[in-house]
Copies of this chain bind each other. A is one copy, B any other.
């Protein structure tokens, strides 16, 4: 529990990770961020913890921040492998283990096999480990599915539905889901690639298939607008009836022409205004049928920060190289002392 941490990325997620890691007794020895506005600011002030001036000063000097004895880098900068791979490689070359919340890092092979192979080779060369984790991908639609498969003699079909609420998110995220567009504008934006929906289905499918020994031969995806019939308002946006409240992104995996996996992820603002509860639902059909429901859904932001910090206690026991969540025991929170109630960040 005394491992030292280097934080790479101190945005909203990096700050959550910083608060939790500190609460859990880890020492953060450096904090990296490229944002000029954050340079020199103590991490304590940025992440708003007690002792505001404590913690390392945020720096853009990556080499200096990565100097020193092997530590674990908690990496939280971007979603796509192409945007994060050089950052992660640099950490590995300094001999540090890396835990990344980049969505595509949960199974980088599913995004780019060449980059994944290079990360694996670099990690092995420098005796370090690298893993990607988070709530989605990394838990709600893949690891939790695999957990529920443990009492199954075989699995014929899996359905996972995650219904969440985007109301807390700002314009950048809402734009990627098409919120506020007309139905025609949504269709155009999907065609142009500016409405992307969820990032991570390829990783969830790969994580499940790899662990069950499945060879998936085709994956199809759909992105449909969730059209509101009422006014929906958030601090960041108001939409009128007939406008798009979010994106229903689905992925379907097939083996020999038969659908074996169906992932459905409707993301929208204010779902409760049309009676839509948020939840995680999983249905496994095989020698038994397991129908699971979690209401409301598992928190994405806090859950992802927790998944990253929890992995600290497990990653070091893995062999050097690219590690997947399915290689490790369950990365539950290791707490040698109970955190006092009320001291929840």
Question: Which of A148, A330, A339 gathers most chain B CB within 10 Å?
Answer: A330
Find out whether the CB atom of A330 lies under 8 angstroms from the CB atom of B298: no
The answer for the CA separation of A327 and B211 in the assembled complex, in Å, is: 17
A118 at the B interface (CB under 8 A): no
A326 at the B interface (CB under 8 A): yes
State the interface size on chain A (CB cutoff 8 A): 61
Contacts of A294 in B (CB 8 A): 290-293
Find out whether the CB atom of A154 lies under 8 angstroms from the CB atom of B335: yes
Whole-angstrom distance between the Cβ of A189 and the nearest chain B Cβ: 31
Contacts of A328 in B (CB 8 A): 329
Find out whether the CB atom of A147 lies under 8 angstroms from the CB atom of B330: yes
From 258 to 310 in chain A, residues with beta carbon under 8 angstroms from any chain B beta carbon are: 260, 286-288, 290-295, 298-299, 302-307, 309-310
In the complex, the count of this chain's copies comes to 2
Contacts of A329 in B (CB 8 A): 211, 326-329
A212 at the B interface (CB under 8 A): yes
Contacts of A230 in B (CB 8 A): none
Contacts of A303 in B (CB 8 A): 151-152, 288
A345 at the B interface (CB under 8 A): yes
Contacts of A316 in B (CB 8 A): none
Contacts of A335 in B (CB 8 A): 154-155, 212-214
Chain A residues within CB distance 8 Å of chain B: 20, 23-24, 135, 139-140, 143-144, 146-156, 211-214, 255-256, 260, 286-288, 290-295, 298-299, 302-307, 309-310, 326-336, 338-339, 341, 344-345
